[in-house]
Amino acid sequence: MKIVVLAGGTSTERDVSLSSGSKIYRALKNRGHQVILLDVYLGYESETPVTEQLFELDVDWAKDIQAVSAEHPDLSHLKDLRRDGGKSMFGPNVLALCNMADIVFLGLHGANGEDGRIQAAFDLMGIPYTGTGYLSSALAMDKHITKQFFRNAGIPTPAGITLKCGEKADPSSVPYPCMVKTACGGSSVGTYRVDDPRDLQKALDDAYTFGDDVIVEQYISGREFSVGVIDGKALPIIEIAPLEGFYDYKNKYQPGSTIETCPADLSPELTAEMQRYAEMAYEALGMRSYARMDFMMDASDHSIYCLEANTLPGMTPTSLLPQEAAVIGMSFEDLCEKLIEVSLK
């Protein structure tokens, strides 16, 4: 197959996306596909018209991709790399090459990639792509909307309030500790634990730098889990235990920062309950193909809370979905092929 792997982009998860994209690219190349890895924003500069012969070139499209750093990337100079000024999300020749492909494998994360905008554009252009559609992508990207859908479907989720466009909160009205997070972020960028009322406004101000809407949410003290869902069926549960702090950007992508156990050490009853909630969340948001749901379990009474849904889960060397798939005998290459299969279906 001719496949374009799209990665990069303009979100705070750019580096994570490039890491996912390079790993997907190499896996599909190893399976004999004709694959091109493109940064959706920077594209492919060419003085001559692009043709399908680009898919046949013996070049390493991922040779310049670096490991994910401990800090989220500085995007301030990204536009300077575009000759055309970078007004369009799609870089030079991206759409032309995607039109030539049998399918586009979306290795994008975060805004302008995981939020349904690119999916909607591809739907209008008739370009097949991996992952769920534009509407479920948009719903899952907004944690405030996601929580409303979870509650309506009977899926437990932490209590919280949403503040808009710089709105302040009365520190005395919030239980502590609490979590402050941007409503439309990912990879725990813009997420803060607040233990003292005096620190609440600082956390809100920092979260507002990543988006207009911010959620102040009940903190669940206990164990953290994630459950992948492929074609409506839950994978084995993985438990996430950071060595320090919570599962933030650094702990997600720096090897050795987190202990991950799959399958998680849970009773059959709790395993079945959490997997059922993951499948319910997938259904409630109208998802297709695949996704990943994140959970907390209260240490005192083992109550389960669904935190959010991820429509394009990470595919980096430390990512969770590939680890879950490996437990059922699915290699990374097998997983990439499976995600193409269910997406084309």
Positions annotated as catalytic residues are 13, 187, 253, 292, 294, 308, 310, 314
| Full DSSP string of 275-324 | HHHHHHHHHHTT--SEEEEEEEEETTT--EEEEEEESS---STT-HHHHH
E strand residue ranges, the chain:
2-7, 34-39, 103-106, 160-164, 178-182, 191-194, 213-218, 222-230, 233-234, 238-242, 258-261, 290-298, 304-310
Number of CB atoms found within 10 A of residue 76's CB: 7
The helix/strand/coil state of 106 is strand
The helix/strand/coil state of 181 is strand
Give dist(CA 75, CA 89) in Å, integer: 14
- Could you tell me which of 329, 313, 315 has the C-alpha nearest to residue 262? 329
For CA atoms 240, 244, 249, 254, give the dihedral sign: negative
The helix/strand/coil state of 226 is strand
Extract the tokens encoding 35: 């694959």
The helix/strand/coil state of 148 is helix
